[in-house]
Amino acid sequence: MISEQETQAAPLLSLRGIVKRFGSFTANDDISLDILAGEAHGLIGENGAGKSTLVKIIYGLLEPTAGVIAFRGQSVRLRGPQDARALGAGMVFQHFSLFDNLTVAENIALVLPRATPLSGLRERIHEVAARYNVPLEPDREVWTLSAGERQRIEIARCLLQDPKLIILDEPTSVLTPQEATGLFETLERLKAEGRALLYISHKLEEVRRLCDRATILRLGRKVGSCDPKQESARALAALMVGSAISDIQAPAARALGPERLSIKGLSAPSEEIHGVDLKELSIAVRGGEVVGIAGVAGNGQSEFFAALSGETTAREPDAIMLDGAPAGARNVNERRKLGAAFVPEERNGHGAAGDFSLTENFILSRHATGDLTARGLIDFEKARALAQTVIKTFDVRKAGPDPAARTLSGGNLQKFVVGREILSEPGVLVINQPTWGVDAAAAATIRQALLDLAARGAAVLLISQDLDELFEICDRIAVMREGRLSAALETSDLTREDIGLLMAGVAPGDSAHAH
């Protein structure tokens, strides 16, 4: 840990005693920090630690209940993002705010002054793209672009406003390893120009690689700062949660059982106007096995999950087999009755109904298989007891005995959604982005639960963009690209570079494209 000494140069941004309350809940409690010009400053903490609230205050999306914000030593009041941008703050959001049917240039124009002509804007885009190595084609429609290309739009339209402070929220979550390397080269160039970076990420190795200092939040309070380069990722995680993170314990060598999930020649047109068609997908998962599906977002993973869960049905019933039973034409509840369980990517609205209590959310996915109904009546007491078992087993932190799902932090709601399905003891579990946007402790809890489920004989199909996660718990890994699936290879025979090349459409070992 390092002390908070005042530097000789005036900070670009200063926060003093920032407090933000929502009713009786305090999201930020007396937070102070400085960000210097030319500095990359990490902001880390558990889900629910207050990072998102603090960033929204800095960018003018929320006003603090108390405290002072100063840019270059001058106290300011930010009434909206336009005030923050006028002072030199820009933000690259985790969730892209782009219109698919507009061009790159049109999307960028939306955040610039109204008088900006498109003709001149194209030239400016080319200049920024060349200067910062974020290649873009101004006249391409956004729906034709990969996730990495879409992020370049967010970066370019931020840079076109000439920001002095750039806030980046989980910027590598949808990038291939090669794209992430390119992003870090761009960020180092921005630092060298004297621009400050506020970097929010659950990937602590990235924080160690990029950041000069890091501020750690826990339960809404600042608990310290450090030079992340002098700390291990494990030590940073311990600072975030207040205790050491347990190692994931892989089960002892196990004999794999028969195929419990089998997909053969699965093809399906997307129901979305800019969706991805599935093309002749084939893969099998045996009991006791965890098989991973890697890929950059937007390459058919959502459509694949919908086809496996029964949200969309296959033309051929035997294109999807669950424990030997044809399931392709069956709906979600019918597949659950065959012993399958499903965890979608989007926890809010898809995995859980935000305005429903946790007990009601438990009923939503377990009413057909959990002995919760009899003669048309729901046994709420039994549902409440089972929901509490999930809450206790997966350490779901909440306010009140049975709160609405929307009141939980992202990581705690994810633990509830995952735990609800795992504790049903499914024979097959299909899970999409299980630890997306969750902190290190919650991610370790979820990954250990997946390994333990497989050790009990279940077949687990894990769709994830997190290569660390895939390599940590998967026996085999396949890559999805443009609606097609590569062969699933033994994890021990693969490297991250191999997976990154497959994600980019290049076969590992292709020397013509490997550099």
pLDDT value at residue 264 = 97
Q: Is 483 left (phi over 0), alpha (psi -120 to 50) or beta?
A: left
pLDDT value at residue 514 = 43
d(C-alpha 380, C-alpha 360), whole Å: 8
d(C-alpha 366, C-alpha 345), whole Å: 18
pLDDT value at residue 131 = 87
pLDDT value at residue 513 = 45
Supply the DSSP symbol for 357.
B
pLDDT value at residue 509 = 62
pLDDT value at residue 466 = 85
DSSP string covering 102-135:
SBHHHHHHTTS-TT--HHHHHHHHHHHHHHHT--
pLDDT value at residue 508 = 65
pLDDT value at residue 6 = 38
Domains of the chain: 12-81+195-242 (3.40.50.300), 259-355+407-503 (3.40.50.300)
First CA to last CA distance, the chain: 39
Q: Are 46 and 204 in contact (CB under 8 A)?
A: no
pLDDT value at residue 512 = 45
> pTM, whole model, 2 decimals?
0.76
Q: Are 270 and 253 in contact (CB under 8 A)?
A: no
Q: Per-residue pLDDT for the chain (515 aa), expressed as one digit of tens each?
A: 333 443 346 799 999 999 999 888 899 999 999 999 999 999 999 877 889 899 999 999 999 999 999 999 999 999 999 999 999 999 988 777 889 899 999 999 988 877 677 778 988 999 998 888 888 899 999 988 877 788 889 888 888 888 999 999 888 877 777 778 888 999 999 999 999 999 998 888 999 999 999 999 998 999 999 999 999 988 998 888 887 777 788 777 677 999 999 999 999 998 877 789 999 999 999 999 999 999 987 889 999 999 999 999 998 999 999 999 999 999 999 999 999 999 998 888 899 999 999 999 999 988 888 778 877 888 899 999 999 999 999 988 887 889 999 988 778 899 999 999 999 999 999 999 998 777 778 888 899 999 999 999 999 999 998 888 999 999 999 999 999 999 999 999 999 889 988 887 777 665 444 43
pLDDT value at residue 511 = 44
pLDDT value at residue 263 = 97
pLDDT value at residue 510 = 58
Q: Are 404 and 357 in contact (CB under 8 A)?
A: yes
pLDDT value at residue 344 = 93
